[in-house]
Amino acid sequence: MQKPATTDFPVHDLIRHRWSPRAFATKPVEPAVLASLFEAARWAPSSSNEQPWAYLVATNDNPDDYLRMLSVLVDFNAGWAKNAPALALAVSHLKFQGKGNPNRNAFYDTGAATMLLSLEATARGLYVHQMAGFDPAKAKQVFEIPADWEAIAAIALGYPGDPKSLPQPLHDREVAPRTRKPLAEFVMSGRWGHTSPIVSQ
């Protein structure tokens, strides 16, 4: 299933076609393809080229790892994510490696890396659904994440599945039109709250 965005201004097709489904096919994702997704993440920009991201990955061909990953998700997300062939956690290093000072851009940079991963996935006919609904404390314990690293998002990825495989409330959300705030609400110039003329044409 595809749900291209209806945009007010032209954007690249990869952006129009990127979205976050909950219905995934059981088809496995080849290891070489997964590696390319993380290669894309590798080349994201970061403050001082710190690259403060890491990913814990589990595929359903390794049931033990997969179930451990599934166990850190909240029940609602685990209910549909269990069908995705690959799950991951995006983890951020909270300190700069040199002097150990706090890195206030760590989450931002990890998000940028995961966005590149998502676009690479879209280019390959895959979809990525990022989730805030997981237990960071449990993830730290289960995967022995060091103290100065923090899991900030869970990720389900795979090939698109049939929305009819979802419970009715999720099915309805899956097939509903995509919506976004208008540009006039968040692109500003001169002062806060003043819509930029760039987007008010």
Burial class (CB in 10 A: 0-12, 13-18, 19+), 109: buried
Residue 135 identity: D
Q: What's the pLDDT tens digit per position in 115-158?
A: 999 999 999 999 999 999 999 999 999 999 999 999 999 999 99
Segment 7-16 shows an average pLDDT of 96
Strand order in the sheet with 127-131: 53-59, 86-93, 149-158, 127-131
Which H, E and C letters describe the chain, residue by residue? CCCCCCCCCCCCHHHHHCCCCCCECCCCCCHHHHHHHHHHHHCCCCHHHCCCEEEEEEECCCHHHHHHHHHCECHHHHHHHCCCCEEEEEEEECECCCCCCECCCHHHHHHHHHHHHHHHHHHCCCEEEEECCECHHHHHHHCCCCCCEEEEEEEEEECECCHHHCCHHHHHHHHCCCCCCCHHHCCECCCCCCECCCCCC
For residue 99, the model assigns a pLDDT of 86
pLDDT the model gives residue 158: 98
Fold of 13-164: NADH Oxidase (3.40.109)
pLDDT at 2 over 90: no
The model's confidence at residue 201, banded by pLDDT at 50, 70 and 90, is low
